[in-house]
């Protein structure tokens, strides 16, 4: 019995000890921590994460005379570039952003080999030593007080830099020192035969062009060859101090110390023609090379590459996408290749007699006022098109098997804001957002087997003309809608276009003397469906005939908004959707639901959003996502709330994405994509 009592007492003591121990473990330990083993921290059921940022160096426009110096090659498909505050390295045809040079303004980069060279600009000097860039601005930056420098090197320690207003800086024994040329014009090119001998070229439409540099006399004060308006020298190639050639908008020859223009016919004719030589070589008395010919340099989209062979132009012309024009063409061991203003890399295949894309280029910033278009086959496959400034007209992004990349730009095309795919990412159509964005105002472009062709069926002649939406039944049947401005009546017309398989062409169909700006089409089949405008107006398609619906008017205030990026309507179905417009005078965002064809009272007018909605998408009437600049909001149960804040007001995730969001696409509430202004792409996925 004693034994049973003893065991009972021991058991009681053990039980008491365990309870006390566990109780103590739940008490604040004094360092602010506590055991949350049995409770999982609150979190959002989904997460937004940066997936990738697509980037290319911006080497600027071909007609800006300094841009060809922003890239230097060391061998075929290899070199360095300066752009956007970074040194970019091209390795086997692929760009890598290597090192930041901050706010420095670098004009020119020059190499002696793949791992050694210089980059200079106003107040800035960097040296490439054994493959690493080193800032030498504190040593030599004060010597560089001009702009638009061009550099020529004999070796890593010897050379000259020339810039605006006759500025010259000499590199001797590895040290830069300011010189005096006695010239007041802007230098555009320099070539050397040694550290003290060579030639420089300046731009002066009323003065001379070429000035010599000699060991005995330094820079000459009297030049050769009278300048011409708009005619620049871009490169000087010397075999000796008195022998060589130069090229830019023309070709010049240096013989016995005298410069003269080489007689080469223009490669074509035009209204405002302009020829820009991008690469020239000489064999005996014959010149060969490549030039960009623009029959009218006042407009975009009609430029072609021409091949020069023995002082004569080949009959064939070679086209490259607008915004993909070369700033440099090079010949490395008979490999002809080009680096373009949007970072694209091309090579010339002499066997097939055509230029072949090695690496697609594109812009680094989308412009929302021109629109951004997107269409997806599924979460892993789709395309995005948009206008990205002079660098990236017709910028085209491709999502293929879950991988984002730049895709080839659209030939001779610029501002496209709508795209429709047909079953795969290599077939579809895009439509333009304004006149002048593509060659001769062509409004549509066709995607077939991954290659774009500008379509001639519809052309625009006013800046306000635009196609906002394209919808396809298949590659040969579909509808598009947008606006056309009549310059005679000065009225915008809501307009529908049809792609008919019988003719295979786009034709303008019906027009309405209203300005509700159709922006969405739903098709049941080619002859039946409905459409909505930016203000929520509805049209119906019955037996192939469009008519404006009498049972619903758009929001009048939304219809009066001038700037389209401030007003949007997102239809859930024919009779339900969401409308938003932003009143800049009062800095108030308006969000209104359409339910069963009836406009409701505003949704959460006190939500605290003080900017226009920049993108939104919904999976149904009660569920979706909204972006306001860089911030993301969720729509659940028909209510809008800040992403990352729980029901008690606690912050559990960051709703700041870091980039202005211009497009959202959803597969469902937990899966989708957001496209940012700076080519940042964000992925929406479950927060498992």
Q: 336-360 burial string, b = 16+ CB within 10 Å, else e?
A: bbbbbbbbbbbbbeeeeeebebbbb
- Residue 260 lies inside a defined structural domain of this protein: yes
pTM of the model: 0.87
In DSSP terms, 290 is beta-bridged to: 279, 307
In the block, tokens 């469009």 appear at 546
What's the CA gap between 79 and 9, in Å, rounded? 85
- Residue 552 lies inside a defined structural domain of this protein: no
In 3-state terms, what secondary structure has residue 284? coil
Domain that holds residue 271: 67-359
Neighbours of 619 (CB within 10 A): 17
CATH number, domain with residue 188? 2.130.10.120
Burial status of residue 668 (CB atoms within 10 A of its CB: 0-12, 13-18, 19 or more): exposed
- Residue 272 gets which letter from DSSP? B
- Residue 282 lies inside a defined structural domain of this protein: yes
Split at pLDDT 50, 70, 90, the class of 282 is very high
Split at pLDDT 50, 70, 90, the class of 548 is very high
What's the CA gap between 196 and 157, in Å, rounded? 13
Question: Which comes out higher in pLDDT, residue 454 or 309?
Answer: 309
Residue 619: partners with Cβ closer than 8 Å, 6 or more residues away: 666, 668, 669
Q: How many domains does the chain have?
A: 1
- Residue 503 lies inside a defined structural domain of this protein: no
- Report which of 323, 303, 465, 476 is spatially closest to residue 394, judged by C-alpha positions: 323
Q: What is the number of alpha carbons within 13 Å of residue 607 lying toward its C-beta? A: 26
Q: What is the pLDDT of residues 80-127, one digit of tens each?
A: 999 999 999 999 999 999 999 999 999 999 999 999 999 999 999 999
Neighbours of 503 (CB within 10 A): 11
Rounded to 5 degrees, φ, ψ at 394 are: 65, 30
CA dihedral sign, ordered 523, 524, 525, 528: negative
Q: What is the pLDDT of residues 65-87, one digit of tens each?
A: 557 899 999 999 999 999 999 99
- Residue 154 lies inside a defined structural domain of this protein: yes
- Report which of 93, 92, 130, 133 is spatially closest to residue 114, judged by C-alpha positions: 130
- Report which of 245, 306, 290, 295 is spatially closest to residue 273, judged by C-alpha positions: 295
Neighbours of 616 (CB within 10 A): 22
Strand 661-668 versus strand 671-676 pairing type: antiparallel
Q: What is the pLDDT of residue 437?
A: 57
- Residue 156 lies inside a defined structural domain of this protein: yes
In DSSP terms, 318 is beta-bridged to: 305
- Residue 412 lies inside a defined structural domain of this protein: no
Q: What is the pLDDT of residue 371?
A: 82
- What average pLDDT score do residues 59-67 get? 65
Q: What is the pLDDT of residue 558?
A: 87
- Report which of 41, 45, 115, 108 is spatially closest to residue 78, judged by C-alpha positions: 115
- Residue 77 lies inside a defined structural domain of this protein: yes
Q: What is the pLDDT of residue 214?
A: 95
Q: Does residue 31 have a pLDDT over 60?
A: no
In 3-state terms, what secondary structure has residue 387? strand
């Amino acid at each position: 019995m004693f034994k049973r009592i003893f065991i009972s007492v021991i058991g009681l003591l053990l039980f008491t000890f365990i309870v006390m121990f566990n109780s103590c473990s739940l008490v604040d330990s004094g360092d602010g921590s506590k055991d949350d083993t049995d409770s999982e921290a609150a979190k959002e059921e989904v997460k937004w994460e940066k997936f990738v940022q697509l980037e290319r160096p911006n080497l600027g426009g071909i007609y800006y005379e300094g841009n060809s110096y922003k890239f230097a090659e060391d061998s075929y498909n290899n070199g360095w570039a300066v752009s956007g505050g970074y040194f970019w390295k091209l390795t086997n045809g692929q760009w890598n952003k290597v090192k930041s040079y901050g706010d420095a303004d670098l004009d020119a980069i020059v190499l002696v080999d793949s791992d050694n060279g210089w980059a200079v600009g106003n107040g800035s000097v960097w040296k490439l030593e054994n493959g690493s860039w080193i800032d030498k601005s504190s040593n030599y930056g004060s010597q560089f007080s001009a702009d638009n420098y061009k550099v020529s090197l004999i070796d890593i320690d010897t050379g000259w830099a020339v810039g605006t207003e006759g500025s010259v800086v000499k590199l001797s024994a590895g040290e830069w020192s300011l010189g005096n040329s006695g010239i007041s014009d802007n230098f555009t090119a320099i070539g050397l035969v040694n550290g003290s001998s060579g030639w420089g070229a300046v731009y002066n439409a009323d003065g001379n062009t070429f000035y010599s540099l000699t060991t005995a006399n330094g820079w000459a004060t009297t030049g050769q060859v009278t300048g011409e308006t708009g005619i620049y020298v871009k490169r000087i190639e010397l075999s000796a101090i008195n022998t060589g050639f130069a090229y830019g908008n023309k070709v010049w020859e240096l013989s016995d110390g005298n410069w003269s223009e080489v007689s080469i016919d223009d490669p074509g004719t035009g209204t405002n023609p302009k020829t820009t030589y991008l690469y020239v070589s000489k064999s005996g008395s014959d010149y060969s090379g490549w030039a960009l010919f623009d029959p009218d340099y006042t407009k975009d989209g009609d430029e072609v590459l021409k091949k020069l062979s023995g002082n004569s132009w080949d009959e064939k012309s070679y086209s490259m996408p607008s915004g993909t024009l070369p700033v440099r063409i090079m010949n490395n061991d008979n490999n002809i290749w080009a680096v373009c203003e949007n970072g694209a890399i091309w090579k010339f295949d002499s066997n097939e007699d055509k230029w072949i894309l090695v690496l697609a280029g594109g812009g680094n910033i989308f412009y929302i006022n021109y629109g951004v278009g997107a269409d997806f086959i599924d979460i892993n496959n789709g395309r995005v098109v948009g206008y990205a400034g002079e660098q990236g007209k017709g910028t085209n992004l491709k999502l293929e098997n879950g991988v984002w990349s730049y895709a080839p730009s659209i030939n001779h095309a610029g501002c496209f804001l709508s795209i429709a795919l047909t079953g795969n990412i290599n077939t579809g159509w895009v439509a333009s957002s304004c006149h002048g964005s593509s060659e001769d105002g062509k409004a549509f472009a066709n995607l077939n087997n991954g290659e774009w062709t500008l379509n001639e069926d519809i052309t625009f002649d006013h800046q306000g003309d635009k196609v906002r939406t394209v919808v396809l039944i298949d590659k040969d049947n579909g509808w598009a809608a947008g606006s056309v401005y009549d310059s005679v009546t000065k009225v915008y017309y809501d307009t529908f276009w049809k792609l008919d398989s019988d003719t295979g062409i786009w034709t303008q169909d019906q027009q309405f003397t209203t300005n509700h700006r159709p922006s969405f089409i739903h098709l049941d089949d080619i002859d039946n469906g409905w459409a909505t405008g930016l203000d929520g107006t509805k049209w119906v398609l019955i037996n192939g005939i469009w008519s404006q619906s009498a049972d619903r008017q758009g929001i009048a205030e939304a219809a009066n908004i001038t700037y389209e990026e401030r007003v949007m309507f997102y239809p859930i179905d024919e009779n339900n959707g969401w409308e938003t417009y932003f009143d800049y005078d009062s800095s108030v965002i308006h969000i209104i639901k359409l339910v069963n064809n009836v406009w409701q009272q505003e949704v959460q007018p006190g939500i605290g959003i003080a900017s226009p909605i920049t993108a939104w998408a919904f999976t149904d009437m009660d569920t979706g996502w909204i972006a306001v600049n860089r911030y993301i909001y969720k729509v659940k149960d028909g209510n809008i709330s800040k992403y990352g804040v729980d029901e008690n007001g606690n912050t559990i995730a960051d709703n700041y994405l870091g980039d202005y969001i211009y497009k959202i696409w959803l597969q469902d509430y937990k899966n989708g994509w957001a496209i940012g202004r700076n080519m940042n792409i964000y992925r929406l996925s479950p927060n498992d």
